[in-house]
A and B are shown apart, each in its own frame.
Chain A
Amino acid sequence: DAGVTQSPTHLIKTRGQQVTLRCSPKSGHDTVSWYQQALGQGPQFIFQYYEEEERQRGNFPDRFSGHQFPNYSSELNVNALLLGDSALYLCASSLDRFGLSTDTQYFGPGTRLTVL
C-alpha cells in the first residue's frame, strides 16, 4: 500500500518566481491538506482540498493556491516567491466519511523549497 508521495524532493527558486508542488494521497484517501514547516518550527496549516474544492484555509496570502484533481492528487502553487517562503512543504491525506473528516492525517516526506 503506497503512502503519501510528494514531488519534487528538493527545489531551488529565486525571488519572484512561481513554483508548483505535487502530492499523491494514500490509497483510498480523498482529502488532501497542505502544511508549511519553516526551519525549527512546527507545521502550519495552509489549506485543505476535498472534492476538488478548497474547504478550509489557514492564514496564508492569496499567493498560495492549490488544486485537486479527480484522482484526488493535489498541487500547491506559490506565486511571487519571497525569501520567507523557504520551508519544507508537507502534504497530508485523510479520508472523509459522510462529510466528516474523522480519520487521521498521514503525511508525505515533504518538498524542501529554497528561495534565493
Chain B
Amino acid sequence: AQSVTQPDIHITVSEGASLELRCNYSYGATPYLFWYVQSPGQGLQLLLKYFSGDTLVQGIKGFEAEFKRSQSSFNLRKPSVHWSDAAEYFCAVGARTNFGNEKLTFGTGTRLTIIP
C-alpha cells in the first residue's frame, strides 16, 4: 500500500525567505505525485504535479518541486515566500489500481506560518 510522510508538522519562515517542505512517499511503481494547498476552512488547490519526464516541475504561485526516485522524495520549494503563502500544504501520491483509476493518498500536512 502506498503512503506519504510529511515530517514537518509546522514550519515558520520570514517573509522573503526561501522555503522547502519535505515529502517522502512509499509506492511500488512509478508514482504520480502532487502538492496541494489548503487555506483555513477551504478546499484543496493544486499547486503542481509530477506524472513523468522532467523531475523538476513548476507550479503556480512560484512553487516548484523535485522528484528524486533514489530518495523517494518530492520536496516543495519556493525561493521567496509571501505572507499570502501561509496555509496548510499537503503532499499526495496517486496510486494506479487494477481498474486503471487512481485514488490519492495524502500526508498529514505541513502548516506554514509566515512572520514579517
Number of interface residues of A (CB under 8 A): 31
List B residues 77-108 near A (Cβ within 8 Å).
Answer: 90, 92, 94, 97, 99-108
A62 CB to nearest chain B CB (Å): 18
Are the CB atoms of B100 and A90 closer together than 8 Å? no
Are the CB atoms of B106 and A42 closer together than 8 Å? yes
B34 at the interface (CB under 8 A from A): yes
A61 at the interface (CB under 8 A from B): no
With the chains together, A40 CA to B106 CA distance in Å?
12
Across chains A and B, the number of contacting residue pairs, with CB separation under 8 Å, is: 66
Given contacts A104-B34, A104-B49, A105-B104, contact A56 B42 (CB under 8 A): no
Closest to B4 in A: A42
Instruction: Give A contacts to B, CB under 8 Å.
Output: 4, 31, 33, 35, 40-45, 48, 50, 55-56, 58, 90, 92, 94, 96, 99-102, 104-110, 112
